[in-house]
Amino acid sequence: MKTAVLIIDMQRGLYDDLPRPHEAGEVAQRVNALTERARAAGVPVAFIQHENTIDLEFDSERWQLADALRVDASDTKIRKTTSDSFLRTPLEAWLTSHAVQRVVICGYSSEFCVDSTVRRAAALGYEVVLAADAHTSHDKPHATGAFIRAHHNATLSDITSFDVPIRAVASAQIAFGD
C-alpha cells in the first residue's frame, strides 16, 4: 500500500519556544528516525506548516521548521491556515499525485492539528497510522501533554465510522515497503 508521512506543525514558534511541548526532544528524534526510514524506502515525506498573521507569519523565524528536525531536499512543504491540513491546501492533490492510500501522521499539536488531520484523512478514505509516540502537545490547565497524547491515541484509534482503519502505532514499529 502506497504510503506518505505527514509531519504537522513542528515549527520554531510552536515547538522550540519555552516551555516546550511534552517530550519535545524525544518526539523530534522519533520523527527524524521515522522520516529517515521513509525516505530510504522511497516513501514521500511532507512537512506541513501552520501560518497566521498574528505570530506565525509566512517565512518568519517562528514559522520555520523546528531546529531539531532533519529535512531533506526531496521533502515537500505544505502551508496551511487551519487545524485541518487538507482544508484549502494542496495536500490531497499531492497525495493523489503520489497514489497514496495510507498516511502516517505525527507532529504537533495532538488535540488540534494532528486530531483534525487524522479525522479528515480517514474521512477522505486514507488508512491512517498515527505515530503514537511521535506527536505531542503542551501541558494545559486541564491535562498534561502526556495525557493528551494518550487520550488521542486511544480515541482516534477507536473511531470506526470512516470505514478505514485508524491505528496508533509506536513510531519504531511503523514499517515501510512490502
3-class secondary structure, 168: strand
pTM score of the predicted model:
0.98
Using an 8 Å Cβ cutoff, are 110 and 148 in contact? yes
Section 159-169 average pLDDT: 97
DSSP secondary structure code for residue 112 in this structure:
I
Domain 3-173: what homologous superfamily? Isochorismatase-like (3.40.50.850)
Q: Are 121 and 86 in contact (CB under 8 A)?
A: yes
**What is the enclosing helix (H) or strand (E) of 116?**
helix 115-123
Domain ranges of the chain: 3-173
Q: Give the HSE-up count for residue 49: Cα atoms under 13 Å, Cβ half-sphere.
A: 22
Q: What is the pLDDT of residues 105-155, one digit of tens each?
A: 999 999 999 999 999 999 999 999 999 999 999 999 999 999 999 999 999
